[in-house]
Amino acid sequence: MDQKSKIINNYKKKINFLKKHNKLYFNKDNPEITDSQYDDLKKEIFDLEKNNSFLKNLNLNQTVGSPPSNKFKKIKHLKPMLSLSNAFDKNDMKDFLSKINNFLNNKNKDIDFFAEPKIDGISATLVYEKGKLVRGLSRGDGTTGEDILSNLKTINKIPQKLEGNNIPHLLEIRGEIYIGKKDFNIIKSNFANPRNAAGGSLRQKNSNETSKIPLAYFAYGFGAVKPMVFKTQSEFLEKINEWGFSTNPLSKKVKNINEIDLQHSFVDSIRSTLDYDIDGLVYKVNDLKLQSRLGNTSNSPRWAIAYKFSAEKAVTKIKDIVIQVGRTGAITPVAKVEPITVGGVVVSNATLHNEDEIKRKDIRVGDTVQVQRAGDVIPQVVSVDISKRSKSSKKYIFPSKCLCGSITQKEINRSTKKEDAVRRCTKGYDCNFIAKEKLKHIVSKDSFNIDGLGKKVIDQFWELGLIKTPTDIFTINYNELKNLEGWGELSINNLKQAIDKAKNIELSSFIFSIGIRHIGQENAKILASFFKSIEKFINLFNETKRKKILENLVELDGIGKTQIDSINNFFLNNTNVEIVKKLIAKLKIKDFISKNKKGKFSNKIVMFTGGFEKMSRSEAKSLVENNGGKISGTVSKKLDILVIGNSKPTKRKIESAKKLNIKIVKEIEWYKILNL
């Protein structure tokens, strides 16, 4: 398994673990890991995305909250409640500022930011119509929340009728509900922590019970506003404070990395004296017009970030080093350590990432190491204390074989031309360790999403011989489950219903599920939009047809040589083809239906070459997609418009477009189309 696949495999594991703990955190208010461990997990995901740009094409990190429970009525937010990306040090913040300046093509002046303490509470939305509070929702999954209006009304300082000037007809306020430290001390015997107390109180069916809990809140943002009466985030908070909302007094306007870091350090130094828990500061671009230009990624705004406070670490000793095999064949070394408590959780395993990481840090059995809880099943080894190393210590020799006995190899990275850090087993489904991990991927939420068939159940069914291939999932003998511990009639029926439901699957989800290396969710969606139906997708089974298809895939923006080679290699493997064929025979795979937005570029394919004066290439692409268009990576007959920037356009692309009579738009005309 090459380094890139290992990174992707590691990244997906962390995303799945994040989803699990989001459900515990957002939906049940009963987290199994501490806030610092949760933050460390998000930091690991952030670092992986930061250092490996190809991960963003997978479009996996779009977890915002967790689906709302069935306890309350479900209502859609007027505007989605997005999650925030995280920064963990000054360099992360520099990267954040750099990305904003690059996106806006801003070169010469500082941008104003607004810093607000990040309260460790429960997010909620308040909707006002003509100044009257009419709805109150929990975050839910970010798109749909729970109707908790009656419980929110028990919080004294939440205004139910707004008084003042210039109040919008429609106002959607976002706030964080919490319990002060002093108040929590009075009731702490009944709850695990303040957040658990706040969340549990808001999910009481009887609002009289909620009224007994001393809940408080800070308003921090807005969703839908009609008409828009604010120009900046600071003006927004000032106005709503006048209208009766509680806003945080530590909020402050800053404008460069030094002021950002000073404010962060100051609040960090006084946070222990505050009557509420905070785990960092949120920095937002203050100008709302710039926020609008920057827009959002699939799950977080580009114009805001949470700059977290430091995570916890601990020191322990390595007893042994073992290897694990991932679904793409990546060989991951894991340190077995003497149990140590980190942030309230006992740790006995720590990831060592890969062979090169072990060599770089010179990690050995018997070493005293510093570990950092990263929120995953296992934390990571940060550093080795060489001074405490035994004289008899020996360098760790990384095994050359997979657990299945097959020789492993390192691939040559196409972009760097260097050998990847990760070793891989190349046996695919013929390696039992890989095959079992592939099954866990197939049943996961973003693939077939089969409730009741999680990782532990796959392990159990694998050992019993009930499931060995993907097709076995859909032909399982339910009678054999009746004698298994924990499998009663209800759980068996629930599993059967979940599997039957999973037989109807979207084309994009199916493509993602079969586990082609380098084909994540976003790439799978691009491929689904290209093939449209499973009937056209199965042409990949035929080598002659596949060659022609792969030539056409070059035109797709987001599908590069790495992805094309990976698709070809996948279908060159006869075992893969047979497994996919048998799986398709058990399913009803839905055709891809385009959900393009309507706008100036509806049904148009647009390509860019050269740099622009007023905006970045990223912003230009975003504008096309938000106006119903698609982006192409190559000039072909299918291209409708080639937009030429004034700075260093590619002459070859321009000449090709002219030969094909494609419409060419110069930069000045581009701005006229956009009314800029």
Residues marked active site are found at 118
Alpha-carbon distance of 628 to 146, in angstroms, equals 32
Cβ-based neighbours of 82, under 8 Å, separated by 6 or more: 64, 142, 296, 299, 300, 301
CA-to-CA dists, residue 573 to 1, 325, 568, 570, 576, angstroms: 16, 20, 9, 6, 5
What does the CA dihedral 458, 464, 469, 470 come to, rounded to 10 degrees? Answer: -40
Pull the structure tokens for residue 577: 């083809």
* H/E element, 350: strand 345-351
- The string of DSSP letters for 253-272 reads EE-SHHHHHHHHHHHHHHGG
Prior bond to 399 cis, omega within 30?
no
- Residue closest to 303 by CA, chosen among 97, 120, 143, 105: 97
- Residue closest to 442 by CA, chosen among 509, 368, 373: 509
For residues 114 and 251, is the Cβ–Cβ distance under 8 A?
yes
Cβ-based neighbours of 663, under 8 Å, separated by 6 or more: 640, 641, 642
- Residue closest to 272 by CA, chosen among 309, 319, 321, 326: 309
SS3 131: coil
Alpha-carbon distance of 202 to 126, in angstroms, equals 14
- Residue closest to 246 by CA, chosen among 124, 75, 64: 124
For residues 146 and 138, is the Cβ–Cβ distance under 8 A?
yes
CA-to-CA dists, residue 607 to 60, 549, 630, angstroms: 25, 21, 9
496 dihedral zone (left: phi>0; alpha: psi -120 to 50; beta): alpha
| Angle at CA of residue 216, ends 215 and 222, nearest 5° | 125
* H/E element, 383: strand 380-384
- Residue closest to 31 by CA, chosen among 118, 122, 143: 122
Q: State the amino acid at position 203 in one-letter form.
A: R
Cβ-based neighbours of 269, under 8 Å, separated by 6 or more: none
What DSSP designation does 25 have? I
SS3 574: helix
Pull the structure tokens for residue 171: 């106002």
SS3 132: strand
Per-residue buried b or exposed e for 303-334, using 16+ beta carbons within 10 Å of the residue's own CB: bbbbbbbebbbbbbebeebebebbbbbbbbbb
- Residue closest to 528 by CA, chosen among 552, 511, 504, 505: 511
Please report where in the chains the tokens 């795979």 appear, as a residue. Answer: 589
